[in-house]
Structure 1
Amino acid sequence: MSSSEYDTPFSPNSKRPRHTETQSQSKNDNEEDRLSDLPDCVLLHVLSFVNAKHAVQTCVLSRRWRNLWKLLPTLTLHSSHFWTFKTFTKFVSNLLTRRDASSAVLNLDFERHGCIEPHVLKRIVNYAISHKVRNLGISVKCDIAHIPQAIFSCKTLTSLKLSVCPRGYIYGSTLFPKSLNLTALTSLHLQHFTFCASGGGVSDRAEPFSACERLSDLVIDHCTVRDAKVLYISNSTLVNLTLRSDHSKDFYKIVLSTPKLRSFRFSGIPYQQICGSHVPSLEDVDIDAEIWSNSLESPLILFSWLLELANVKSLTVSASTLQVLFLIPNLLKIKLPCLGKLKSLKVKMKPLSPIFAMTLKAGKSKKEVMKLSLPLPDGIVNFLLQNSPSAEVAIVNCKR
Structure 2
Amino acid sequence: MEAARSGIEDVTSPDRISQLPNDLLFRILSLIPVSDAMSTSLLSKRWKSVWKMLPTLVYNENSCSNIGSLGFDQFCGRSLQLHEAPLLKTLTLELRKQTDSLDSSIFPNIHSTLLEFSIKSTGYPVYYSTISFPNNLDVFQTLVVLKLQGNICLDVVDSPVCFQSLKSLYLTCVNFENEESFSKLLSACPVLEDLFLQRLCSVGRFLFSISVPSLQRLTYTKEQAYYSNDEAILEITAPSLKHLNIFDRVGVFSFIEDMPKLVEASVRVKLSKNEKLPKVLTSVEHLSLDLYPSMVTSFFSRKLGFVYL
Q: Provide TM-score, normalisation by structure 1.
A: 0.56
Partner of 2:124: none
Distance 1:252 1:78, change over 3 A: closer
Query: Are residues 1:308 and 2:280 paired?
Result: yes
Partner of 1:95: 79
Query: Are residues 1:159 and 2:121 paired?
Result: no
State the shift of 1:92 in Å. 3.5
Q: Distance in 2 between matches of 1:27 and 1:62?
A: 14
Distance 1:93 1:188, change over 3 A: closer
Q: Distance in 2 between matches of 1:286 and 1:43?
A: 44
State the shift of 1:70 in Å. 1.7
CA deviation profile, 1:61-86 (whole Å, cap 9, x unmatched) = 98754531121132111112245996
Question: Unmatched 5+ residue regions in structure 1?
Answer: 1-22, 167-171, 200-204, 290-297, 346-380, 385-400
Of 156, 160, 164, which aligns to 1:183? 164
Distance 1:176 1:245, change over 3 A: farther
Of 110, 123, 131, which aligns to 2:105? 123
Does the 8 Å CA contact 1:265/1:287 hold for their aligned counterparts? yes
Partner of 1:138: 119
Does the 8 Å CA contact 1:103/1:131 hold for their aligned counterparts? yes
1:360-379 matches, within 5 Å, as: none
Distance 1:162 1:278, change over 3 A: same
The code of the aligned residue for 1:81 comes to: S
Of 284, 301, 304, which aligns to 1:342? 304
State the shift of 1:221 in Å. 2.4
Partner of 2:242: 262
3-state SS of 1:126 partner = helix
Which structure's CA Rg is the greater one? 1
3-state SS of 1:114 partner = coil
State the shift of 1:333 in Å. 6.5
Partner of 1:332: 294
The code of the aligned residue for 2:195 comes to: L
Of 259, 262, 266, which aligns to 1:286? 266
Partner of 2:219: 242
Distance 1:236 1:334, change over 3 A: closer
> What is the RMSD computed on CA atoms of the aligned residues?
4.5
3-state SS of 1:124 partner = helix
Query: Are residues 1:26 and 2:10 paired?
Result: yes
3-state SS of 1:209 partner = helix
Does the 8 Å CA contact 1:178/1:196 hold for their aligned counterparts? no
CA deviation profile, 1:20-67 (whole Å, cap 9, x unmatched) = xxx9x9389699x4x755542464366557653564466689875453
Write 1 or 2 for the structure with the bigger share of helix: 1
Number of residue equivalences:
289
3-state SS of 1:281 partner = coil
Q: Could you say which structure has the greater relative contact order, defined with CA pairs below 8 angstroms and 6 or more residues apart?
A: 2
Partner of 1:212: 189
Does the 8 Å CA contact 1:310/1:339 hold for their aligned counterparts? no
The code of the aligned residue for 2:215 comes to: L
Q: Distance in 2 between matches of 1:339 and 1:53?
A: 62
Q: Distance in 1 between matches of 2:298 and 2:31?
A: 49
Q: Provide TM-score, normalisation by structure 2.
A: 0.69
Query: Are residues 1:150 and 2:135 paired?
Result: yes
Question: Unmatched 5+ residue regions in structure 2?
Answer: 1-6, 122-126
Query: Are residues 1:40 and 2:25 paired?
Result: no
Q: Distance in 1 between matches of 2:295 and 2:84?
A: 68
Query: Are residues 1:52 and 2:34 paired?
Result: yes
Does the 8 Å CA contact 1:196/1:225 hold for their aligned counterparts? no
Does the 8 Å CA contact 2:238/2:257 hold for their aligned counterparts? no
Does the 8 Å CA contact 2:230/2:250 hold for their aligned counterparts? no
State the shift of 1:136 in Å. 1.8
Does the 8 Å CA contact 1:239/1:260 hold for their aligned counterparts? yes
Write 1 or 2 for the structure with the bigger share of strand: 2
Does the 8 Å CA contact 1:195/1:208 hold for their aligned counterparts? no
Distance 1:307 1:114, change over 3 A: farther
Partner of 1:222: 199
Partner of 1:108: 91
Partner of 2:251: 271
